[in-house]
Structure 1
Amino acid sequence: MSQRRIKVLQLQNYYNVNASDLAEQIVQALPAERYDVTTAFLRGRPGPGEPVSKAGRSIYFGYRQSQVSGLRLRALWALYKHCREERYDAVIGHRFKPVNMLMLLNKLLGFRACIGVAHGFGEYDRSFRCWTVRQLVTSNWRLVGVSRAVRNYLVDAKAGFTSANTCQINNAIDIDRAEGLQLPRASARELLGLPADAFVFGAIGRLVPVKGHVHLLRAFAEIKDEWPGALLAIIGEGRSRAELEAVIAELELDGCVRLLGARDDALQYVRAFDSFVMPSLSEGLPLALLEGMSGHLPVIGSDIPSLKPILEDCGGRIFPTRQHVALAEHLRAVMALTDSERIAEGERAYGYLRRAHSIEDFRRQYRELLAGLLEGGRND
């Protein structure tokens, strides 16, 4: 007689499925012959042609944002009925809202294993939230921080997360897939309309204030006259475009800065760059930095908590957040490297990426975490 598969619910706030989505990587970490995984989204659903989860089943509750704010009683009742009917062995929640809902339901349904994933900072800054979570954390819960900085934030939040029930599983990318997607330098530059002979500093990210692009522009303005062969290229789109275009005009950067807009699979263009820059003011999951490393590039980033440990460990360059003059010094230093020195710096970053952020290790750690909880969990 075949053994019953372990039933797992993975709950997210809103629909978002793509190849680098770490929730999808968790699905792929759990062998289908042993685990029966359901992915559920409180809000949103795929449109025509958009991808669906690799889980055996996907559920779209279809709530509006107002229906999952505050007490969320309607959503909680629907989720309770669903979980009671399905009798899940394990639940995995991403970010505060799904984690909090599953903590409440765990008190009623007694799941054998519960995992909450924190992707960034700020979710446990409110004292009432921390008090609530302290009442709900039980021995069958484990909290995961996606970086050393996020894990430390959780433990320091005084929300019932301790060194015993909180762990670090580094955010990761499928490095082999990333390298397979990347176009050769000449092809990438041709498609982006970048000169073949320019030295290109590159960034990938939405054009929104938190990404810090305005500070990158001001830093680049400091070096443009010294290094007339340098170019700054930013892949991404967003509400800050008009502001950034105004800064470009103000600083007379029109000929040497390219706002390239959104690109499908932006990762494929990484090798068009000579160095990768991430000037963010806040990040929970700095996948773009890891993607830059996958292109064997020297990397420069701000000293925010989620970036600094990675940059320290990979031999990258770090500047104080919002300090464009300090960033300009790092741009100068990279420009001054010989070709062999620049290649060596990129290879150091790539080697670190392989050691610390491979998708194979990521999947193994989640698989082992869940298996350990199930072995010691309740079986109500």
Structure 2
Amino acid sequence: MSRPLKILQLQNRYNVSASDLAEQVIEGLPAGQYEVTTAFLRGRPAAGEPESRAVRSIYFEFDKGATKGLRLGPLWALYKHCRDQRYDAIIVHRFKPISMLMLLNRWLRVPACIGVLHGLGEYDRAYRRWAMRALITPAWRLVGVSRAVRDDLLHCGAGLADAQVRQINNAIDIDRAERLQHSREDARERLGLDPGRFIFGTIGRLVPVKGHIHLLEAFARIRHDHPQAMLAIIGEGRSRAELEALIARHDMQDQVRLLGSRDDALQYVRAFDVFVMPSTSEGLPLALLEGMSGRLPVVGSDIDSLRPILEDCGGRVFPSGNAQALAACLTDVLALPQEQRAAEGERAYAYLRAAHSIETFRCQYKGLLDELLVQGGWRG
């Protein structure tokens, strides 16, 4: 009997949760056929925090400074670990770990390597494009987590060919999401929201790229004409003070709620009537998919990673950063009869099932891994 394939999955920093897609990659690799080690350059779980479902977890525990510049310490530690373990394949997430493993694999010669890119513009810098052209080998495939990320990789000027880049859409476990979600009434009670109001909602860290400032400005334009409407934002971050000041300036304290961070925030999406994603930059935001899982109408900015999804699911699109256009979208969806809003939500849900199911996601990663291993001549 052939031994299990030894797989390393490497991430920049510890981040393990039930919705973590790196964990879903592991879930798609049957334990009898694959032996997965997961490794993190930075961080480790604190007491009570979850650990990876991999057979083994490695925490290198480098600080942030060590992973900048030449990164000699992490490179040497990674080289020794991979040399000793003799992995059959490596799956690497995000630019820094990918660049490190591309360099090291000149000596390690791991036959199957997958680099997963989650954001746009990773190869905007000339030296990064030069390094990509110099280091990529037939052992590598790059994965874009959305159509936008894949297209960005193909057109960034790093000389990547179609065959070297794949699109595997980010996904969510829709069945799990639906099991977790509270009813509309229960979710509103848990969040302290008025059960009779019309609620626009969003989930995301309170940081500038999430575009909450534009959402608040848009809501300020419509709130007097629609006093029954509210805006609820689940998330926490460094922009809270700025957002609170804007809420106070427009005297919107009775209509806007900053709800802070919530574990498994997707369990509250049914508290909303409409899900809004005003981001100015994203790879592929899982929060938008979580909104769809609640069968909600969706509104989002026209950035490259959102526009195709919104168009395909029947959502509403506005120019990124344009509060006036966003206000018009909010007004339009408010004016719809309830049955039409429900129909928009059902269309979004049907699209989610067709394009972003976790089962398809797992199968695509397993298929790509197996394809590379066959190409690399693995025989067991």
Give the superposition deviation at 1:222.
1.0
Q: Percent identity?
A: 66
Give CA deviations for 1:30-74 in whole Å, capped at 9, x if unaligned: 111000100000010000000011111000001111111111111
2:49 is paired with a residue of what secondary structure?
Answer: coil
User: What residue is the counterpart of 2:222 in the other structure?
Assistant: 223
Residues in 2 aligned to 1:354 and 1:238: alpha-carbon distance in whole angstroms: 31
Would the aligned equivalents of 1:170 and 1:357 in 2 still touch at CA under 8 Å? yes
TM-score, scaled to structure 1: 0.98
Code of the residue aligned with 1:300 in structure 2: it is: V
Residues in 1 aligned to 2:221 and 2:270: alpha-carbon distance in whole angstroms: 25
User: What residue is the counterpart of 1:211 in the other structure?
Assistant: 210
Q: Counterparts of 1:222-241 in structure 2 under 5 Å?
A: 222-241=221-240
Work out whether 1:291 is the aligned partner of 2:281.
no
Residues in 2 aligned to 1:340 and 1:46: alpha-carbon distance in whole angstroms: 46
Residues in 2 aligned to 1:292 and 1:364: alpha-carbon distance in whole angstroms: 24
User: What residue is the counterpart of 1:10 in the other structure?
Assistant: 9
User: What residue is the counterpart of 2:312 in the other structure?
Assistant: 313
Give the superposition deviation at 1:225.
1.2
Q: Counterparts of 1:57-72 in structure 2 under 5 Å?
A: 57-72=56-71
TM-score, scaled to structure 2: 0.98
Give CA deviations for 1:301-348 in whole Å, capped at 9, x if unaligned: 001111111101101000001100000001001100101100000000
Residues in 2 aligned to 1:283 and 1:223: alpha-carbon distance in whole angstroms: 26
Work out whether 1:107 is the aligned partner of 2:103.
no
Q: Counterparts of 1:102-141 in structure 2 under 5 Å?
A: 102-141=101-140
Give CA deviations for 1:241-297 in whole Å, capped at 9, x if unaligned: 111111011112111111111111111110000000010111113100000000000
- The answer for unaligned runs of 5 or more in structure 2 is none
Would the aligned equivalents of 1:143 and 1:161 in 2 still touch at CA under 8 Å? no
User: What residue is the counterpart of 1:33 in the other structure?
Assistant: 32
Residues in 2 aligned to 1:65 and 1:378: alpha-carbon distance in whole angstroms: 37
Give the superposition deviation at 1:161.
2.1
Code of the residue aligned with 1:292 in structure 2: it is: G
User: What residue is the counterpart of 1:150 in the other structure?
Assistant: 149
2:162 is paired with a residue of what secondary structure?
Answer: coil
Would the aligned equivalents of 1:173 and 1:359 in 2 still touch at CA under 8 Å? yes
User: What residue is the counterpart of 1:276 in the other structure?
Assistant: 275
2:16 is paired with a residue of what secondary structure?
Answer: coil
Code of the residue aligned with 1:296 in structure 2: it is: R
1:97 is paired with a residue of what secondary structure?
Answer: helix
Residues in 2 aligned to 1:102 and 1:159: alpha-carbon distance in whole angstroms: 17
Give the superposition deviation at 1:378.
4.5
Residues in 2 aligned to 1:122 and 1:162: alpha-carbon distance in whole angstroms: 17
Residues in 1 aligned to 2:152 and 2:372: alpha-carbon distance in whole angstroms: 23
Give the superposition deviation at 1:106.
1.2
Residues in 2 aligned to 1:271 and 1:34: alpha-carbon distance in whole angstroms: 39
Code of the residue aligned with 2:336 in structure 1: it is: L
Q: Counterparts of 1:362-373 in structure 2 under 5 Å?
A: 362-373=361-372
1:210 is paired with a residue of what secondary structure?
Answer: helix
Work out whether 1:350 is the aligned partner of 2:335.
no
Q: Counterparts of 1:250-265 in structure 2 under 5 Å?
A: 250-265=249-264
User: What residue is the counterpart of 1:191 in the other structure?
Assistant: 190
- Count matched residues: 379
1:164 is paired with a residue of what secondary structure?
Answer: helix
Residues in 1 aligned to 2:170 and 2:29: alpha-carbon distance in whole angstroms: 17
Residues in 2 aligned to 1:371 and 1:151: alpha-carbon distance in whole angstroms: 21
Would the aligned equivalents of 1:137 and 1:160 in 2 still touch at CA under 8 Å? no
Code of the residue aligned with 1:169 in structure 2: it is: I
User: What residue is the counterpart of 1:74 in the other structure?
Assistant: 73
Give the superposition deviation at 1:157.
1.2
Give the superposition deviation at 1:160.
3.4
Aligned CA RMSD, in angstroms, stands at 1.0
Runs of 4+ in 1 over 2 A off after TM superposition: none
Give the superposition deviation at 1:122.
2.1
Residues in 1 aligned to 2:85 and 2:92: alpha-carbon distance in whole angstroms: 17
Code of the residue aligned with 1:115 in structure 2: it is: I
Residues in 1 aligned to 2:295 and 2:255: alpha-carbon distance in whole angstroms: 24
Give the superposition deviation at 1:379.
5.0
